[in-house]
Chains A and B, each alone.
Chain A
Amino acid sequence: MAAVLEVKDMGIRFGGLVALKDVTIEVPEWEIVGLIGPNGAGKTTLFNCIMGAYQPNTGTVTYREKDISLLPTHRRVALGIGRTFQNIGLIRGLTVLENCLVAQHPRIPYGAGSALLGTPRSYSDERRARAYAMEVLDFLGLTALATSHLDGLPYGTLKLIEIATVLATDPDLLLLDEPSSGMGPDEAHALGERLIELRKTLNLTVLMIEHHVPLVVGVCDYVYVLNFGQLLTQGRPQEVQNHPEVIAAYLGGEAKTTEETTDVPA
């Protein structure tokens, strides 16, 4: 089975700082792959390179056997890669529903010309987009908030709305940047269940950056560990969790006891 996403020898430097070096990861079909590592390890930078927000110095990104290294971000999104942001990537000032409408941008077929003239087609397309947005919101149980403005909503809810918007882009592959940040343990647990459910119902493949250990262990099929811009190790979550180098990277020393780190609560 070919991988959905392949990143090969990815390297990027900002001035003298080597942010990523020879990172190679593979996300197979239908898996939830975790990407963990201490702060500053280059996880979000890797996401930015995958999405084309940064131009990497070396390496290629392949999506479903198609080299997308040179495509601009919006073309990659149109191919089916959806991405969320570490600090809520939503448009403030628009309502929840409107955010889901913006996110459908490439799916809405009418062009700028018919938009400006207000052709019947643009109206019917808008109606369909609206219905689809409501469907997505309903799917995530957010219908009640459709007309709410974003300001004042709790952080965890905003994270969920962000997932709704990214689903509205109709992705095959989700890149989630710390989806559980700002959530309590219970909420994070529910998020994990929801991710598994999403994968089942929408056939999604997921690559996610996550710090919440129980979530990673519970949900991910495979985990990559980044440290100082390089891959430290990879494997199934429980192997990685007990890997001495990983523990050392997180705790900054040579931790011997694995017991303490495994049941870090949340």
Chain B
Amino acid sequence: MASATEVLNRPVDDAPARPWTPSVQGWAARLLVLIGIFAAVLLITATRPNFWQERIALAAIWAIIGLSLNIVLGYVGQVSLGHHAFVGIAAFVSAWYVTEQAGCTIERCSFGAFATGTVFAALSGAAAAGLLGLIALRIRGLYLALITLAYGFVAERSIFEIPSLTRGGAGMPATRPDGWASGGEFAYLCFIFLAAVIYVDWRFLRSKVGRAVLSIKHSEPVAASYGINVTYYKVLAFTMSGLFAGIAGSLFAFHSQNVVSNDFSFANATLWVLMVVVGGLGNRVGVVIASAFFALFPYLLEMWTWFAHQIEDLGRAMGNVTIVVGALLALLTIIQYPGGIGEQVSPITRWIGGKRFSLHPDGHGHEKHDEPKASGGGGLMGKLGLSKETDGQKETSRLEALGRAVERPVGDRLPPAPPPPPKSSAEVETPDVWGSLTRTKSGDGN
């Protein structure tokens, strides 16, 4: 770490020195830790008894739901209280397809049927959410939250009660595909889907799509002035969210193996919102951890037999406790830790991502503290010629020159240098996308 005098004497040009990158050993250590985490998850899953494997599979499904909701809540910045509708519709579509169309029986179901059913489920979820996205173009905030609430209730009371789709209260069976039927196997299947969703979500956020969505969240006029098609990206974000919810819904159908509409209630939707908040809005890792925690929490609590007996005596289900705890955690998060779990684990995630280990919440502790604002700012101003000291000499002469320049004959509105040819319309349609500033623009100006 540089001493204060060193920092102050450092020329401004050195300030943006190449960002710190870990050594080969550093990368190896990071990779090792990452592999260790994955191995631990897989090992835990492999060594648990079947009923715990089932629960771990559910945790993975909830993680997908969390990531789905995270797009709406964290990236778009709107509240969806109707996510159980998307998950539920997808679950029923998937179960309906494999049972009614693909001819799966209680005993057997081909992997092809499962895959096709999941594709249909994902598409139906995407369509349902895309429709909501169209509404969200006009309505925001509280009113949109109310509309999602209504959306959820309408789905509950109409779509979930179509007998041919849901078989009423008896439920629609959804047999797990051959080879993935046991708890452990199905858990691994859910992990594969979770990994795919995490990958797509990561690309979503790190590409121009995510930047567009984030800028729309901040300010639609500014986003539009950056050339972003606000309508397209808003609907795209909702559709993506619905796609993830659809995948989760399909997996949920095969997880429970018999889909009943009671599984998709408003209570679930609120719990999902809470878990995304606790995980940290817009924070992928935090949301996954929080989702898994909320999915497993009632079962972990059941292991505390005394407490489980008390709840049983009260005639209540563990799910109620989860909601209470979820609400309390959400309160704690909002008041005390606005970044959620994601921010608490961010020193680790940042380190794995190739940064220096730092407990500073912004993640650029080193750079920030090493370079005092005054030196960077003042030096910058000097470099830009914005401060008096650096170009005091030029000052008077140039302004006078500017003053004189405007005293031209009245008719002469054109500048002295020959103006460049305007871009032809063909050029405007297909611009030289990557032309560098100097190559395309300078030279012909003067």
State the interface size on chain A (CB cutoff 8 A): 95
CB pair A141–B207 under 8 Å, yes or no, is no
Cβ-neighbour of A238 out of B200, B407, B434 (below 8 A): B407
Q: How far is A97 from B410 in the complex, measured between Cα atoms in Å? A: 43
Within 8 A of B (CB), among A210-240: 214, 217-222, 236-238
Q: How far is A128 from B420 in the complex, measured between Cα atoms in Å? A: 27
| A126 surroundings in chain B (CB, below 8 A) | 207-208
Q: Report the minimal beta-carbon distance from A117 to chain B, rounded to whole angstroms.
A: 7
Cβ-neighbour of B406 out of A117, A136, A221 (below 8 A): A221
Contact of A149 with B by CB under 8 A: yes
| A89 surroundings in chain B (CB, below 8 A) | 219, 221-222, 225
A216: nearest residue on chain B (CB-CB)? B406
| A85 surroundings in chain B (CB, below 8 A) | 221-222, 225
Contact of A18 with B by CB under 8 A: no
| B423 surroundings in chain A (CB, below 8 A) | 64, 80, 172
CB pair A201–B445 under 8 Å, yes or no, is yes
CB pair A73–B428 under 8 Å, yes or no, is no
CB pair B437–A102 under 8 Å, yes or no, is no
Contact of B224 with A by CB under 8 A: yes
Cβ-neighbour of A98 out of B211, B222, B383, B420 (below 8 A): B211
Q: How far is A199 from B428 in the complex, measured between Cα atoms in Å? A: 19
| A72 surroundings in chain B (CB, below 8 A) | 224, 229, 231
Q: How far is A73 from B444 in the complex, measured between Cα atoms in Å? A: 29
Contact of B387 with A by CB under 8 A: yes
Q: How far is A3 from B317 in the complex, measured between Cα atoms in Å? A: 73
| A2 surroundings in chain B (CB, below 8 A) | 422
CB pair B433–A109 under 8 Å, yes or no, is yes
Cβ-neighbour of A141 out of B383, B410, B445 (below 8 A): B383
Contact of B319 with A by CB under 8 A: no
Mark the stretch among B93-101, B170-178, B373-381 that contacts chain A: B373-381
Within 8 A of B (CB), among A119-162: 122, 126, 128-129, 132, 135-136, 139-147, 149, 152-154, 156-157, 160
Contact of B419 with A by CB under 8 A: yes
Contact of B415 with A by CB under 8 A: yes
Q: How far is A203 from B422 in the complex, measured between Cα atoms in Å? A: 9
Q: Report the minimal beta-carbon distance from B400 to chain A, rounded to whole angstroms.
A: 9
Cβ-neighbour of A218 out of B204, B362, B402, B414 (below 8 A): B402
| A30 surroundings in chain B (CB, below 8 A) | 414-415, 417, 419-420
CB pair A141–B380 under 8 Å, yes or no, is yes
Q: Which of A30, A94, A219 has the most C-beta atoms of chain B within 10 angstroms of its own C-beta?
A: A30
Q: Which of B203, B204, B222, B230 has the most C-beta atoms of chain A within 10 angstroms of its own C-beta?
A: B222
Overall SS of chain B's interface: helix
CB pair B214–A74 under 8 Å, yes or no, is no
Contact of A115 with B by CB under 8 A: yes
| A116 surroundings in chain B (CB, below 8 A) | 200, 203-204, 207, 209, 240
Q: How far is A165 from B222 in the complex, measured between Cα atoms in Å? A: 11
| B304 surroundings in chain A (CB, below 8 A) | none
Contact of B165 with A by CB under 8 A: no
CB pair A29–B419 under 8 Å, yes or no, is yes
Q: Which of A74, A79, A200 has the most C-beta atoms of chain B within 10 angstroms of its own C-beta?
A: A74
Question: Mask for A181-205, Cβ within 8 A of B = 1, else 0?
Answer: 0010011011111101001111100
Q: How far is A83 from B223 in the complex, measured between Cα atoms in Å? A: 11
Q: Which of A92, A105, A136, A142 has the most C-beta atoms of chain B within 10 angstroms of its own C-beta?
A: A105
Contact of B399 with A by CB under 8 A: yes
Sorted from nearest, which 9 A-B pairs have the closest CB atoms? A115-B207, A218-B402, A77-B227, A106-B227, A73-B224, A30-B419, A89-B222, A118-B203, A144-B15
Can you give 24 contacting A-B residue pairs, CB < 8 Å?
A29-B419, A30-B419, A64-B422, A77-B227, A85-B225, A90-B222, A98-B211, A102-B215, A103-B226, A107-B433, A116-B207, A129-B208, A141-B380, A145-B380, A157-B377, A165-B226, A186-B386, A191-B386, A192-B402, A194-B385, A201-B442, A220-B406, A222-B413, A236-B408
